[in-house]
Structure 1
């Protein structure tokens, strides 16, 4: 069993608070499914978490070490572009730029910000990458954890610094802001972009046919595993003290992203505070959604959707997912245990036991 860990981190964060674990069911569980082919894997660390890449070997590929080098160069590029933990990254320099003059960025950063803004509009601001000041205030960003819960006054002050409508993508890959100290945090989408960036290199440049790319539990797959069957992924039951499978899915040639707060929170005076902040209130979310799984063609989009649906809550999430045909599974904590809320398009991916 391949254990795929999902961490809640900003890009290149040293924080590795566990958000959600997804278990990848490898061919070790699939005996009798055909002749075993050679499975090649590489792994390492990036973005404050791990990366794990697996593919079925085929003729004409570079050595695994050469592929590892190429992968890590690409992951470093994403960090250099979008990390809030690197003061000289492209995104950090934009955050430090105290002007409404358009700021030149790479095509990649502009693409990620553009998608983030699209999802912000889709969610009516429930998803908002300018939420950085509030994330930092509640101690889930680069700033140190406050000694006490932030006051209403301080939360209100930070809310005045937040708003996706103050951020724009201009022609020729330039970003602009009409609040000089606007702070953009792409941690909810950049990891998914990193998966896509590496995946596209392996698929389009190296022409690898059967492939799984995983960065901190954000996953994109193509083809089959070494047993000749589609890659299978198991979603874990959201229990803090044990690891059991809630659901097994086959996503085909797609991406899957997860979000959850059952292992990433802190407590003070007996009250639990989630790492997920609602941009509308400036406070940690209070709904009963403990786990979110989203399937999409692109991991970047799935990554952002997972955060959006976690904040939105079950009723609004399912309505929006059904309206836009987004495959979504929510696990909600109830008085009787956990309840599943799938969207209409999710069931097709469930692997019947």
Structure 2
């Protein structure tokens, strides 16, 4: 699971390699600003009868503020912070969205035999990747074993509107919160009668309809390079969410060894395989967000096998010598590519 300090959600920014290639025109409106320790960018085609730009901006601000109140681990009054501060054995009433994402996270964890886990917050702090940590460090095996006692979905229980824990377990939604926010934003635009848009929040995105010139939204998947930005592939998408996870920019080194910011909850340590990035395309940006993290933990071989079994559209880019090699799932190869 990815980690870092670039968002106000404790598992830090996903190493998203995406750029947006959108058309421009008089009917194209653009909104952008700070959110989740990063940025959001929205482009939409204004149509007759749609709310004013200021009214749309107000809707965007309200929704992002709501999500922050629920999921931010960088504000003590958020729902997740209150739960994390509670002692073992506590039960707290939680907002519906929090309970929903707990269930989504549990389903991803069960499907991957624990490769995905929203309760790894203490482990992230231990390695220096979480909001309660100060410096990146390599913890001892004894420290990892001690922290492991607080990690895992068996420690959680949903009872109606309350969430309970039988250990000092902490939740961190950074692996799926941005994708969830994108889906919520897309639904808000649909409710406003705006059906042609491209929503991007901290790198996770979703496209619907077409650009003002009638062409499709063009999404460039960035090659996993740390020295420059270049497109690996360019897709023409409508009705899909896109998420990329990677470690090619987010890591630290100690004594000549490289430690990825992507942690494997099963081992309590950073991933050690050669996978540089995974991009997932799915109708749900929430699912794309979670699956990209899950596949990043599984690695190039297990991850591709998982994607094929589940029919997931995924692009895997692995280190090979001084360069990279890509492998795509069958579902990913079937996606429409943009015309040059």
Which TM-score applies when normalising by structure 1? Answer: 0.90
Contact 1:18–1:263 (8 Å) recurs in 2: no
Matched, 1:297 2:297: no
Runs of at least 5 residues in structure 1 that lack an aligned partner in the other structure: 1-6, 29-35
Alpha-carbon shift at residue 8 of structure 1 (Å): 5.9
Runs of at least 5 residues in structure 2 that lack an aligned partner in the other structure: none
CA deviations on 1:182-225 (whole Å, 9 max, x unpaired) are 0111111111111111111111x201010111001100110011
Rounded to whole Å, the distance in 2 between the matches of 1:192 and 1:182 is 23
Matched, 1:271 2:257: yes
Match of 1:32 in 2: none
**How has the CA–CA distance of structure 1 residues 244 and 317 changed in structure 2, closer, same or farther, with 3 Å as cutoff?**
same
1:272-351 matches, within 5 Å, as: 272-335=258-321, 337-351=323-337
1:1-353 matches, within 5 Å, as: 12=8, 19-27=15-23, 36=25, 38-146=27-135, 148-171=137-160, 173-179=161-167, 181-203=168-190, 205-335=191-321, 337-351=323-337, 353=340
Secondary structure of the corresponding residue to residue 19 of structure 1: coil
Rounded to whole Å, the distance in 2 between the matches of 1:68 and 1:213 is 13
Alpha-carbon shift at residue 145 of structure 1 (Å): 3.2
**How has the CA–CA distance of structure 1 residues 99 and 10 changed in structure 2, closer, same or farther, with 3 Å as cutoff?**
farther
Contact 1:87–1:93 (8 Å) recurs in 2: yes
Contact 1:12–1:83 (8 Å) recurs in 2: yes
Contact 2:31–2:43 (8 Å) recurs in 1: yes
Contact 2:14–2:175 (8 Å) recurs in 1: no
Match of 1:33 in 2: none
Rounded to whole Å, the distance in 2 between the matches of 1:133 and 1:296 is 30
**How has the CA–CA distance of structure 1 residues 83 and 316 changed in structure 2, closer, same or farther, with 3 Å as cutoff?**
same
Secondary structure of the corresponding residue to residue 249 of structure 1: strand
Rounded to whole Å, the distance in 2 between the matches of 1:145 and 1:270 is 21
Rounded to whole Å, the distance in 1 between the matches of 2:11 and 2:287 is 23
Secondary structure of the corresponding residue to residue 237 of structure 2: coil
Rounded to whole Å, the distance in 1 between the matches of 2:117 and 2:10 is 23
Rounded to whole Å, the distance in 2 between the matches of 1:178 and 1:270 is 40
Rounded to whole Å, the distance in 1 between the matches of 2:239 and 2:131 is 35
Rounded to whole Å, the distance in 2 between the matches of 1:77 and 1:152 is 39
CA deviations on 1:308-332 (whole Å, 9 max, x unpaired) are 1111101111111111111111111
CA deviations on 1:23-51 (whole Å, 9 max, x unpaired) are 111126xxxxxxx5511010001110100
Alpha-carbon shift at residue 15 of structure 1 (Å): 10
Contact 1:17–1:263 (8 Å) recurs in 2: no
Report the number of matched residues: 338
**How has the CA–CA distance of structure 1 residues 215 and 65 changed in structure 2, closer, same or farther, with 3 Å as cutoff?**
same
CA RMSD of aligned residues (A): 2.1
CA deviations on 1:158-185 (whole Å, 9 max, x unpaired) are 11211122223332x3212221x10111
Rounded to whole Å, the distance in 2 between the matches of 1:191 and 1:119 is 16
Which TM-score applies when normalising by structure 2? Answer: 0.94
